[in-house]
A and B are shown apart, each in its own frame.
Chain A
Amino acid sequence: MYKLTLFNAALFVLALLPSLASAVPTIQHWQTANGAKVYFVAAPELPMVDVQVVFDAGSARDESKPGIAKFVNALLHSGTEKLSADVVAERLDALGAQLGGGAERDMAWMSLRSLSEAQYLDTAVNTVASLLQEPAFASTSMERERNRLIAGVRAGNQSPGTIAARAFYQTLYAEHPYASPPEGTEVSLQTITQGDLKAFHSRYYVAANAVVAIVGNLDRERAEAVAMVLVGSLPVGEAAPDLPPVQPLTQAQVVRIEHPSSQAHVLIGQLGMKRHDPDYFSLFLGNHVLGGSGLISRLAEEVREKRGLSYSTYSYFAPMRQAGPFVMGLQTLNEQAEEAIDVTEATLKEFVTQGPTPNLLEAARQNITGGFPLRIDSNGKIVRYLAAIGFYELPLDYLDVFTAKINAISQQQVNDALKRRLNPDQLLTVVVGG
């Protein structure tokens, strides 16, 4: 029989690369008259259109009212002054259109998937436009959404993973806007008024604060019309102000939270990086080896494969407007928590001190570059990239140069970035369990 080696596989992958360049979609970009940024990729293969409208209106803008960004976003689905929530729902369902939305720390968004024929798309886009522009904030829907959001907070209270994530952000970000949970707290949700919601909407759901991403079976002219209908009537407004920079923790910290679970949920990490960070590609590539590549990553090898301590073991950088976190996570039987934490910390320490082995680094590079076409193989994936490119103001050729950037990173750059950016002696460790 045969015996494959990594060396052979590497040759195959390198041979593959040149043919893939043509697969990268062409991004068109313009601004609406009132200043919203639009990003568009024509995809005529399927008779459908995906749209995302993104605002800098995430929970980082909550200020003293944790949960308000999510509250406002949820109410966008509850109708307008002229159209009740029932009428909106009936109209979109009758078109076969799918409406989505949400708010995390940086972004708040609405998404629409529709058939591309004018009779469906035009009505769907018109409906979403009125939801964005003239939400009703009626008191009945407000109380309903408040109760649903509170139910969401309670669901988090019974989940050790959610409790750990909340405590991790709360401790790491302390006084920074990223500290508070996007879902809010039960107390803060109770205090939010109709006036608060309206004020938040008028301040942040404005053209200067908006990005529109469109992918699908339409030409530039129709895409321009879609963008115009969606956000063209929004007030110009102002872009949200810059968020304050984040201060890193200056010493190691451990937070332990009692929870009646058989497993301890462990999050270990520190401040990571911004979306615009000179070390972005070095840290992305380095983390792929450490904990970003599933079962073959260093953390999975040590924690899961060698010791059977956890089902899910991973690490990631979550790059955001300001420095997002670097997180390593696992869940293990309470009695094994200390062992798992020791193994994780030792793995990180060795990784930062010595850097990834050349073989592992090259394997990670091959995986990322060889797998690049998989990142953009559907309209649904491309529209999310467009939204991120627009929101974080990444270069328009971001997708074109992605593999070249990864290929250009040297071993030295990775080792150096890991040493400068990760400090194994100043980690935040959160343990939720019994």
Chain B
Amino acid sequence: MKKFLIILLLSLTTPVLAAPRTHEFMLDNGLKILVREDHRAPVVVSQIWYKVGSSYEPSGITGISHVLEHMMFKGTENLEPGEFSRLIAANGGTENAFTSRDYTAYFQKLGKDRLEISFRLEADRMRRLVLDESELTRELRVVTEERRLRTDDSPQGLTYEQFNAGAFVTSPYRNPIIGWMTDITSLKVSDLQNWYRRWYAPNNAILVVVGDVDPQQVLALAKTYFGPLSPSTLQTVKYTPEIPQRGERRIVVKAPAQLPFLLMGYKTPTLVTAEQPWEPYALEVLAAVLDGGDSARLSRTLVRGSQVAASAGADYNLVARLENLFTLSATPTPGHSIQELEQGLRNQINLLREELVNENELARVIAQVIATDVYQQDSMFYQGMRMGILETTGLGWQALDDYIERIKAVSPEQIRDVARKYLTDDRLTVALLDPLPLNGKPPGPAALSGDALLH
């Protein structure tokens, strides 16, 4: 087995694919444009990214970035509510938008010679949105339904929300992206107008285009539609950084459920906040040692070995504006307690602090990183998404160009060092979902048969 792996490692270091060509432009009004050519199919993905999201929101108006994202489909000085979507559909396109902590993004997927309609409409709603009171009233109802669907009625969604709110005391990452219910329902047209005017401007946006296009033609089209837009004077956002944590935090979430759920999060740096640039890459490799495929430690030891976990995962995102969490999440198998599960996960973290990761494990992580880099090029949308996220977090779209090299450079000692430095009890927040009975019946087989649910 070992010999087999070494052979693979050597061959995988040869680059398998030339990097896709990406072109960067800047309009006079500050709009940055990134164009990546992908000529495999006669289609194009167009995304416009704004540097605003829930982490920009002060108390009292949490969720406003997401509500504004919804209102962006409700008409402009030139378009009726819903007309944006009807025009994109009539041109054979699909479209949507998404809001996160650090960004808000809008996208269309179209036949390659339909790009103009995307630019016309996005340029229009960047500066000429009409925020109507009755439209807002209805859309706030929609967003509260969205919140109920994603969070209030989802035991795991609720646990995630309370976990973040407990792990972060002062950082804006404590707030849910969708916002607190009372903030959502009290939003006014004037709040949204202020938010829109403050953040929706060409000099706070990045236009990302991936597809079967000619970069110079994209630039010319962008100049036509986005060029005339005036920039805004951007104010820097003031926010409180997270205060240092002084000991482990534990949170219990009681909700009607049948399956316990465990979240453990350690405060960790990101590429933006790290003092040592190698540390985020070491944490990235550490996450893959735990959860990079079925051979990784969590599957091998907790799902297959002790069979304490029905599922177990590790999540670390090195691209975020603010200090973030390295998160372990897991559900116990029936017959095992959540305490056993927590102990199993803690043992895995302890092992990383005490012993060096072996070369075979590292070789597998690198093999997966290299292969995934190829697979990701099958999705034009993903390619655009990656550039957009890197831009809106302030790192720049080229920040991960040396990702594979940086991952390969991580040593077993560095992995142990970041485990010792960051995966400590004093930086840890644990959240447990404590199931309350469903339908007034205690959890367990008695409440489970299909018949029992039908009354």
Query: A residues touching B (Cβ–Cβ < 8 Å)?
Result: 1-4, 6, 9-10, 12-13, 16, 19-20, 23, 43, 45-48, 77, 85-99, 113-115, 117, 119-120, 141, 143-144, 147-148, 150-155, 157-160, 163, 166-167, 170, 181, 185-187, 255, 257-263, 293-296, 301, 304-312, 331-333, 363-364, 366-374, 376-380
> Contact between B90 and A367 (Cβ–Cβ < 8 Å)?
yes
Cross-chain contact of A94 among B367, B375, B449 (Cβ < 8 A) = B367
> Contact between B371 and A97 (Cβ–Cβ < 8 Å)?
yes
Inter-chain CA distance A258–B363, complex, in Å, is 51
> Contact between A263 and B85 (Cβ–Cβ < 8 Å)?
no
> Contact between B1 and A295 (Cβ–Cβ < 8 Å)?
no
- Given the interface pairs A305-B138, A333-B145, A378-B380, the reply to whether A115 lies near B16 with Cβ below 8 Å is yes
- Which residue of the partner chain B has the closest CB to A362? B90
CB contacts (< 8 Å) of A95 on chain B: these are 8, 367, 371
Inter-chain CA distance A170–B43, complex, in Å, is 41
Say yes or no: is B256 at the interface (Cβ < 8 Å to chain A). Answer: yes
- Which residue of the partner chain A has the closest CB to B124? A1
Inter-chain CA distance A185–B448, complex, in Å, is 8
- Given the interface pairs A16-B111, A48-B378, the reply to whether A151 lies near B333 with Cβ below 8 Å is yes
> Contact between A10 and B90 (Cβ–Cβ < 8 Å)?
yes
- Given the interface pairs A333-B145, A363-B90, A366-B92, the reply to whether A94 lies near B155 with Cβ below 8 Å is no
Inter-chain CA distance A369–B447, complex, in Å, is 48
CB contacts (< 8 Å) of B335 on chain A: these are 147
CB contacts (< 8 Å) of B142 on chain A: these are 304, 308, 310-311
CB contacts (< 8 Å) of B144 on chain A: these are 333
Say yes or no: is B259 at the interface (Cβ < 8 Å to chain A). Answer: yes
Inter-chain CA distance A221–B360, complex, in Å, is 34
CB contacts (< 8 Å) of A160 on chain B: these are 153
Say yes or no: is B296 at the interface (Cβ < 8 Å to chain A). Answer: yes
> Contact between A187 and B449 (Cβ–Cβ < 8 Å)?
yes
Other contacts beyond A154-B443, A295-B82: 8, CB < 8 A: A13-B91, A148-B311, A154-B258, A155-B259, A294-B94, A305-B138, A307-B138, A371-B94
CB contacts (< 8 Å) of B79 on chain A: these are 4
Say yes or no: is B243 at the interface (Cβ < 8 Å to chain A). Answer: no
Inter-chain CA distance A166–B450, complex, in Å, is 8
Cβ distance B447 to chain A, nearest Cβ, rounded Å: 7
Say yes or no: is B438 at the interface (Cβ < 8 Å to chain A). Answer: yes
User: Which residues, 147 to 188 on B, are CB-close (under 8 Å) to A?
Assistant: 148-149, 152-155
Cross-chain contact of B310 among A89, A147, A158 (Cβ < 8 A) = A147
Inter-chain CA distance A150–B332, complex, in Å, is 11
CB contacts (< 8 Å) of B334 on chain A: these are 147, 150-151, 154
- Given the interface pairs A151-B334, A333-B148, the reply to whether A293 lies near B89 with Cβ below 8 Å is yes
Cβ distance B148 to chain A, nearest Cβ, rounded Å: 5
- Given the interface pairs A309-B145, A380-B379, the reply to whether A48 lies near B374 with Cβ below 8 Å is yes
Inter-chain CA distance A206–B301, complex, in Å, is 33
Q: List 17 A-B contacts (CB under 8 A).
A: A4-B87, A6-B86, A48-B371, A86-B304, A90-B1, A93-B368, A94-B367, A154-B259, A158-B257, A158-B258, A186-B445, A259-B439, A305-B81, A331-B148, A366-B92, A373-B43, A377-B43
Inter-chain CA distance A209–B333, complex, in Å, is 34
> Contact between B120 and A153 (Cβ–Cβ < 8 Å)?
no
Cβ distance B372 to chain A, nearest Cβ, rounded Å: 7
Cβ distance B152 to chain A, nearest Cβ, rounded Å: 5
> Contact between B364 and A12 (Cβ–Cβ < 8 Å)?
no
CB contacts (< 8 Å) of A46 on chain B: these are 17, 40, 374, 377-378
> Contact between A296 and B94 (Cβ–Cβ < 8 Å)?
no
CB contacts (< 8 Å) of A147 on chain B: these are 307, 310, 333-335
> Contact between B294 and A373 (Cβ–Cβ < 8 Å)?
no
- Given the interface pairs A151-B310, A305-B82, the reply to whether A366 lies near B90 with Cβ below 8 Å is yes
CB contacts (< 8 Å) of B448 on chain A: these are 153-154, 157, 185-187
- Which residue of the partner chain B has the closest CB to A331? B149
CB contacts (< 8 Å) of A47 on chain B: these are 16-17, 374
Inter-chain CA distance A163–B90, complex, in Å, is 36
- Which residue of the partner chain A has the closest CB to B7? A119
- Given the interface pairs A95-B8, A97-B371, A167-B453, the reply to whether A144 lies near B304 with Cβ below 8 Å is yes
> Contact between B8 and A94 (Cβ–Cβ < 8 Å)?
yes
Say yes or no: is B422 at the interface (Cβ < 8 Å to chain A). Answer: no
Most chain-B Cβ atoms within 10 A of its Cβ — which of A119, A185, A367? A367
- Which residue of the partner chain A has the closest CB to B86? A296
- Which residue of the partner chain B has the closest CB to A15? B113
> Contact between A296 and B82 (Cβ–Cβ < 8 Å)?
yes
Say yes or no: is B303 at the interface (Cβ < 8 Å to chain A). Answer: yes
User: Which residues, 305 to 339 on B, are CB-close (under 8 Å) to A?
Assistant: 307, 310-311, 331-335
- Given the interface pairs A46-B17, A257-B455, A261-B153, the reply to whether A157 lies near B258 with Cβ below 8 Å is yes
Cross-chain contact of A371 among B17, B40, B86, B92 (Cβ < 8 A) = B92
> Contact between B91 and A96 (Cβ–Cβ < 8 Å)?
no
CB contacts (< 8 Å) of A158 on chain B: these are 155, 256-259, 435, 438
- Given the interface pairs A87-B1, A308-B138, the reply to whether A96 lies near B372 with Cβ below 8 Å is yes
- Which residue of the partner chain A has the closest CB to B366? A96
Cβ distance B311 to chain A, nearest Cβ, rounded Å: 7
Cβ distance B344 to chain A, nearest Cβ, rounded Å: 14
CB contacts (< 8 Å) of A157 on chain B: these are 258, 438, 447-448, 453
Say yes or no: is B209 at the interface (Cβ < 8 Å to chain A). Answer: no
Inter-chain CA distance A1–B130, complex, in Å, is 15
Inter-chain CA distance A153–B310, complex, in Å, is 12
Cross-chain contact of B117 among A9, A181, A304 (Cβ < 8 A) = A9
CB contacts (< 8 Å) of A113 on chain B: these are 375
- Which residue of the partner chain B has the closest CB to A150? B334
> Which 3 A/B pairs are nearest by Cβ-Cβ distance?
A370-B92, A96-B371, A308-B141
- Which residue of the partner chain A has the closest CB to B14? A117
> Contact between A1 and B77 (Cβ–Cβ < 8 Å)?
yes
CB contacts (< 8 Å) of B367 on chain A: these are 93-96
Inter-chain CA distance A134–B367, complex, in Å, is 27
User: Which residues, 402 to 453 on B, are CB-close (under 8 Å) to A?
Assistant: 435, 438-439, 443, 445, 447-450, 453
CB contacts (< 8 Å) of A97 on chain B: these are 371
> Contact between A370 and B43 (Cβ–Cβ < 8 Å)?
no
Cross-chain contact of B153 among A23, A154, A263 (Cβ < 8 A) = A263
Say yes or no: is B13 at the interface (Cβ < 8 Å to chain A). Answer: no
Inter-chain CA distance A64–B152, complex, in Å, is 37
